[in-house]
Homo-oligomer: A and B are copies of this chain.
Amino acid sequence: LTSLWSTHSLREEVARFLTYYCKAPARLDPENVVVLNGCCSVFSTLAMVLCDPGEAFLTPTPFYGGFAFSSHLYSKVELILVHLDTAHPRLFQLTVDKLEQALLEATLTGKKVRGLILINPQNPLGDVYSRDSLKEYLEFAKRYSLHVIIDEIYMLSVFDESITFHSILSMESLPDPNRTHVIWGTSKDFGISGFRFGVLYTQNKKVASAVSSFGYLHGVSGIAQYKLYRLLRDREWIDRVYLPTYRSRLQRAHRYITTKLKALGISFLNRGSGLYVWINLKVYLDPCTFEEERLLHRRFLDNKLILSRGKTYMCKEPGWFRVVFADKPLRLKQAMHRFYQVLETQKLELRVKQPESAQCE
């Protein structure tokens, strides 16, 4: 079925592409590539293949909500949230201690934990894991025979030149190659989510074969396959034209947005990857609850601004929002104007509500 729903040439091209951009130490094998209609389909089928209903994945949060939604549609896998918080010296830092603790607690309550989900570069935080951190997470997973599903869909969207992205496909050797599964797609790095295209790379032949049998229901349109094949092989254009333009535009937009945020006194994570910044609007919530977060989100919407709120990412603390900045300068300017106005109105209401009270710290 693999060959039926994903032409061999496309999988070969994907293998070549990932070998180059992930800096793989050896040529990646097209036989380890499965292509489906989007990364959520890859995640959903992986969950079907790796878990029986009720089994669980460890999931550091805040965490991309699309996977949470996908995990319930078909597979009934449970997500055990590993809540990162602002207490740690580095905000929302993922540590092995946190993972150990979450695994222990889950096991004590009788949960069967099958895997760990990582997103690198992280969505919504923008964190790019160091090689050492990555190794620690993978070693942790190996100790407990956990599968690792790592989503590298923003791998080409690291725009801060001082930051190096390390794909796990760049490692000389993986701690547990048969339990390590990489997801990538063109939706973010090439801005074509409408194509519906997602890739699984795994050395586990059984997993690759099982996932590709789901290709029957998650095939990629032939005309999209052909266009993707043509896109991915045009490395000269990608290297010389596309990526430099893409990254410099992201840099510029990020600089514009963060300068504005600083001027407004709004704190945010300054991470240098992804199409978004994770900002802290706690001081605008009183009381600082998810209900107030929802109302502020509603107010943004009413003023024609789409921000995603922390709750969507299963964030533990209310008050965080994700701002996407990948847009044209003029529209960003307009957006930041609306943003400012919404917050001004919000401030006024806060003053009326409780003139002397303290908001969230």
Contacts and interface: CB of A to CB of B under 8 A. Distances in A.
A89 interface: no
A188 to B, nearest CB: 16
Given A37-B37, A224-B223, A70 B217 contact: yes
A130 to B, nearest CB: 33
A98 interface: no
A45 to B, nearest CB: 9
Contact of A218 (B194, B218, B222, B227): B218
A223 B227 contact: yes
Nearest to A53: B53
Contacts of A219: 37-38, 196
Contact of A194 (B48, B194, B217, B222): B222
A41 interface: yes
A214 B37 CA distance: 13
A107 interface: no
> Most chain-B CB neighbours within 10 Å: which of A196, A222, A227?
A196
Interface residue tally on A, bucketed by range: 20 to 34
Interface string A30-45: 0000000110110010
A220 B217 contact: no
B73 A37 contact: no
Contact of A223 (B74, B195, B217, B218): B195
A196 B217 CA distance: 9
State the number of copies, please: 2
A221 interface: yes
A194 B73 CA distance: 25
A69 interface: yes
Interface string A123-161: 000000000000000000000000000000000000000
Interface string A199-215: 00000000000000110
Contacts of A237: none
Contacts of A40: 216-217
A77 to B, nearest CB: 13
Contacts of A66: 216
25 contacts: A37-B221, A38-B217, A41-B217, A41-B218, A44-B217, A48-B74, A69-B216, A70-B217, A73-B213, A73-B216, A74-B74, A194-B222, A194-B223, A195-B221, A195-B223, A196-B220, A196-B222, A217-B218, A218-B218, A220-B221, A221-B221, A221-B223, A221-B224, A223-B223, A223-B227
In the A-B complex, the 4 residue pairs with the closest CB atoms = A194-B222, A221-B221, A221-B224, A196-B221
